[in-house]
């Protein structure tokens, strides 16, 4: 997943669903003049990532990504969504609205990239199957109906060029505006 960041991150980047900020902390930005923005609904994630990434003086936006972002800021050249989609309610078709909202804050030629855990149509060993079902039951994830074809369809509906690579049940994706 760090390779996905290193291949796609720009010096004008928005990260959505920031977690702890691990990938942003470890990735290689293309130059030293970095504009970094963090977006998440969870204030604890924003605080943790903001503290870890303080050296970049990040812009911070507490937003529900299932609604229009409503941020009055210049557009971005890259957007990261690592391990976000499988945490959103609904199925991959309804989650695809996030791509429409993200597109609204992307410059022409910008790239969006990320990963998500898919359930339907993927092969899982017993441990993975148990972990996914447990995380869904506990409310950490909502991905029992998520499948590759729906992710591909959502990307293609919003972007001129896109790709999805499966590694086990993890989908690594990118799309260009």
pLDDT per residue as tens digits for the range 31-73: 889 999 999 999 999 999 999 999 999 999 999 999 999 899 9
Q: Which domain holds residue 34?
A: 2-176
Torsion angle defined by CA atoms of residues 28, 97, 121 and 78, in that order, rounded to the nearest 10 degrees = -10
128's CB contacts (< 8 A; 6+ apart) are 168, 169
Does the pLDDT of residue 173 top 90, yes or no?
Answer: yes
What's the whole-number mean pLDDT along residues 104-115?
97
Structure token digits, residue 83: 């391990």
Task: State the Cα–Cα distance between residues 102 and 111, nearest whole angstrom.
Answer: 10
- What pLDDT, on the 0 to 100 scale, is given for residue 82? 95
Residue 103 confidence (pLDDT) above 90: yes
Q: How far apart are the first and last CA of the chain?
A: 21
pLDDT grade, residue 83 (50/70/90)? very high
Residue 98 phi, psi dihedral angles, 5° rounding? -60, -35
Structurally, the chain folds into a number of domains equal to: 1
Cβ proximity of 39 and 19 under 8 Å:
no
- pTM of structure: 0.94
CATH code of the domain containing 62? 3.40.50.150
């Amino acid at each position: 997943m760090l390779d996905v960041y290193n291949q796609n991150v720009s010096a004008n980047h928005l990260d959505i669903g920031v977690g702890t900020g691990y990938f942003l902390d470890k990735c290689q930005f293309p130059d030293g003049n970095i504009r970094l923005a963090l977006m998440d609904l969870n204030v604890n994630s924003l605080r943790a990532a903001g503290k870890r990434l303080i050296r970049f003086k990040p812009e911070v936006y507490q937003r529900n990504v299932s609604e229009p972002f409503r941020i009055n800021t210049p557009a971005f050249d890259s957007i990261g969504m690592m391990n976000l989609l499988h945490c959103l309610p609904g199925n991959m078709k309804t989650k695809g609205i996030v791509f429409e909202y993200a597109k609204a804050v992307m410059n022409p030629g910008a790239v969006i990239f990320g990963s998500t855990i898919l359930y339907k149509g993927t092969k899982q060993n017993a441990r993975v199957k148990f972990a996914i079902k447990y995380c869904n039951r506990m409310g950490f994830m909502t991905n029992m109906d998520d499948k590759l074809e729906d992710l591909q369809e959502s990307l293609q509906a919003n972007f001129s060029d896109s790709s999805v690579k499966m590694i086990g049940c993890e989908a690594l994706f990118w799309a260009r505006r």
